[in-house]
Chains A and B, each alone.
Chain A
Amino acid sequence: MATEPRQVRLAPPLRAEDLRELRLGDEVWLDGIVWGVRDASLIRLFDEGQRPDVDFAGAVFLHTAPSVRRDGDRWLPVSVGTTTSMRSDRFTGGCVVDLGVGAIVGKGGLSARSVAQLQQAGSVYLAITGGAASPETQQIEEIEDVVWTDLMPECLWKFRVKDFGPLFVAIDAHGGSQYQAVQDRAAERLAAAYERLGL
């Protein structure tokens, strides 16, 4: 966090060398395909072992469950936002190590185990600003495909995005986690406050 954050524009499939270059705090903007996943679709991918005919190497996964509406044979976004990543934490290894996903976009961060799996795969976790779904929705150019509509709204969503961001590198490909750094600092400062207040 000492160096000035940089702005980086990327388009999936993400390349290993670009991911390795990213530093904590860097601001990332994406153009192209982002896949929406969450509890039910991840359970189907990993616990039930079903795989769509898609190469996820270098792909971007977004933790989401959107509101959509049907217009003829198209799906239009009503609200696409990002959900708490911790609920999908146990699937991180499957996403980045098994499928080769390059970046997971979410909010709230992932566990230490996920940080290690991201490092092993050379992948990153990008934090979006949670709760700010209205600009995020406008950055979705099109819903190109919906896999497993029976899981609505927890299907596998293929979004095409433009100027998607700002996203912040919160867990890098080298085992660094800004969440962990902030939580460690918070614990120290809380202990200091207890001392000061005689608690």
Chain B
Amino acid sequence: MTTTATGPARVRWEDGEGAYDDLVEVSAALYKKALTDLPPDVRSAVRRTQHAEVEAGARRRLEVMVEAISVSDESGIIVCQDTGICVFFIRIGTEAAVNGARLVEALRAGVARATERHHLRSSIVHPLTRENRQDNTGVGIPDVHVEFEDGGDEVEILIVPKGSGSENMSFMKMLQPADGVAGVKRFILESVVEAGPRPCPPTVVGVGLGGTSDLVTALAKRAILRPVGEPHPEPEIADLEEELLEVLNSTGIGPQGLGGATTSFAVHVEYAATHISSNPVAVNIQCWRGERARATVAADGGVTYGY
């Protein structure tokens, strides 16, 4: 795992303009880090799965994943050629002296800067004309989700450059309350089996339950942000995660969909309350690499990089 300095060590909060220049650099550093340096929980999930696998071919494919992680550590080559569609999740402490609009602008500019600096493939196009700005940005992209932390004085920035192979395997349905939990389970299991080899398994399966049609989809995406295999704090949700994982791995779809013991590393469920007439469910799948990178900017401007 690389522990070399990732990006700027400090954001100059005291220097109005300078602070946002620094945040552009933080964003650029996070994008490159996410594509190159996989999170420790992903690394251990891949290794653990490789050791546990009994099918020869599946074992070989997992060995290639382990090798890809090392090659990227040593060479700085991004792990996958898919530079993804960037999604940021930021949490702003209410006591942090930051202009949220400028922060969002800086994060987007950082993605463009990293694209040019590291010769990253630009994967982003206009949905109708397919025009590519060649900098991995476009209208509304990178997507930025904002949360506030009451009383906090830090700014936390998480980037997920989501690969299309897994993002294209997204599913949502407004089930009926009468479909019950059984209907919810069937929808999740059928979605992952239907996705088969395409999202580059072993995957992390993000599940959203409840809310509205847009919220349930966002919850499914949020579910893949959790470190791989960290159970939901509420026992009944954690039990559901475990049950679904057990069934998915019993299907034998395996690494890359060519057979094997591990189809998914984990199932993560997030939920929100919903309407008496609704039973929304959504699935967002994350490929084996589970790319994400995080920076926390303290009140004194110090930046800590993580995952």
Proximity string of chain B (184-217) to chain A, C-beta cutoff 8 Å, 1 when within and 0 when not: 0110011001001110100000000000000000
Shortest CB distance B253–A (Å): 5
A-B contact pairs, 30 of them (CB 8 A): A5-B57, A27-B57, A66-B81, A66-B121, A67-B121, A78-B78, A78-B120, A79-B80, A81-B80, A84-B198, A107-B200, A108-B198, A129-B61, A129-B68, A129-B256, A130-B200, A130-B256, A133-B68, A134-B71, A137-B81, A166-B60, A170-B258, A179-B258, A181-B259, A183-B193, A183-B253, A183-B257, A187-B193, A190-B190, A193-B247
* Leading 9 A-B pairs by shortest Cβ distance: A81-B81, A132-B68, A67-B121, A129-B64, A186-B251, A134-B71, A134-B77, A69-B119, A133-B81
Question: In the complex where A129-B65, A186-B253 touch, is A178 in contact with B258 (Cβ < 8 A)?
Answer: yes
**Per-position binary interface string of chain A over residues 36-72, scored 1 when its CB falls under 8 Å from any chain B CB and 0 otherwise:** 0000000000000000000000000000111111000
Residues of chain B within 8 A (CB-CB) of A80 are 81
With A25-B57, A67-B121, A131-B163: A182-B81 Cβ-Cβ less than 8 Å = no
Q: CB of B288 within 8 A of chain A?
A: yes
Minimal Cβ-Cβ distance residue in B for A181: B259
Tell me the smallest distance from the CB of A72 to a CB of chain B, in Å: 15
Complex contacts, A132 vs chain B, CB 8 Å: 64-65, 67-68, 79-80
Q: How far is the CB of A124 from the nearest CB of chain B, in Å? A: 14
Residues A83 and B77 in contact, CB atoms below 8 Å apart: no
Q: Is the CB of A182 within 8 A of B120?
A: no
Q: Which residues of A contact B189 (CB under 8 A)?
A: 190, 193
Within 8 A of A (CB), among B161-190: 163-165, 168, 182, 185-186, 189-190
Q: Is B138 an interface residue (CB 8 A)?
A: no
The count of A-to-B residue pairs whose CB atoms sit within 8 angstroms is 169
The interface bits of chain A over 94-126 (1 if a CB of B lies within 8 angstroms of the residue's CB, else 0) are 000000000000011100000000000000000
Interface string of A165-199 (1 = CB under 8 A from B): 01010100000001101110111011001100111
Q: Mark B89-103, 1 if CB is under 8 A from A, else 0.
A: 000000000000000
Q: Enumerate chain B interface residues (CB-CB to A < 8 A).
A: 56-57, 60-61, 64-65, 67-68, 71-72, 75, 77-83, 118-121, 163-165, 168, 182, 185-186, 189-190, 193, 196-198, 200, 243, 247, 250-259, 287-289
The answer to whether B57 touches A131 (Cβ under 8 A) is no
Q: Are A108 and B60 closer than 8 Å at their CB atoms?
A: no
Query: Nearest Cβ distance between residue B257 and chain A, in whole angstroms?
Result: 6
Q: A65-B81, A67-B81, A189-B251 are in contact. List 10 more A-B contacts (CB 8 A).
A: A67-B83, A67-B120, A67-B121, A79-B120, A86-B198, A132-B79, A134-B78, A137-B77, A138-B77, A183-B253
Contacts of A27 in B (CB 8 A): 57, 60
Instruction: Report the minimum CB–CB distance from B218 to chain A (whole Å).
Output: 24
* Chain A residues, CB < 8 A from B198: 84, 86, 108
- Tell which of B57, B163, B198 has the most Cβ of chain A within 10 Å: B57
State the CA gap A131–B182 with chains docked (Å): 33
Q: Is the CB of B289 within 8 A of A79?
A: no
**A185 CA to B254 CA, complexed, in Å:** 11
Task: Assess the A179–B197 pair: CB atoms within 8 A.
Answer: yes
Task: Check if B182 sits within 8 Å of A199, measured CB to CB.
Answer: yes
Residue of B nearest to A182 (CB): B259
Alpha-carbon gap, A11 to B57, bound state (A): 22
Given the complex, which residues of A lie within 8 Å of B56, measured CB to CB?
A: 4-5, 25
B289-A131 in contact (CB<8A):
yes
State the CA gap A27–B58 with chains docked (Å).
12
Nearest to A26 among chain B residues (CB) is B57
Asked if B257 contacts A108 (CB within 8 A), the reply is yes
Question: Which residue of A has the minimal Cβ distance to B259?
Answer: A182
Which of B67, B79, B186 is the one whose CB lies under 8 Å from A131? B79
Nearest-Cβ distance from residue A31 to partner chain B, whole angstroms: 18
Inter-chain CA distance A198–B289, complex, in Å, is 34
A181: which B residues are within 8 A, CB to CB?
Answer: 259
Cα A5 to Cα B61 in complex, Å, equals 13
Considering the chains assembled together, what is the distance between the CA atoms of A130 and B166 in angstroms?
Answer: 11
A-chain residues with CB within 8 Å of residue B182 when the two chains form the complex: 198-199
Q: How far is the CA of A113 from the CA of B13 in the complex (A)?
A: 60
A182 proximity list for chain B (CB < 8 A): 196-197, 252-254, 257-259
Q: A199: nearest residue on chain B (CB-CB)?
A: B182
Question: In the complex, how many angstroms separate the beta carbon of B281 from the nearest chain A beta carbon?
Answer: 14
Least CB distance from B113 to A in Å reads 16
A65 to B122, CA, bound (A): 10
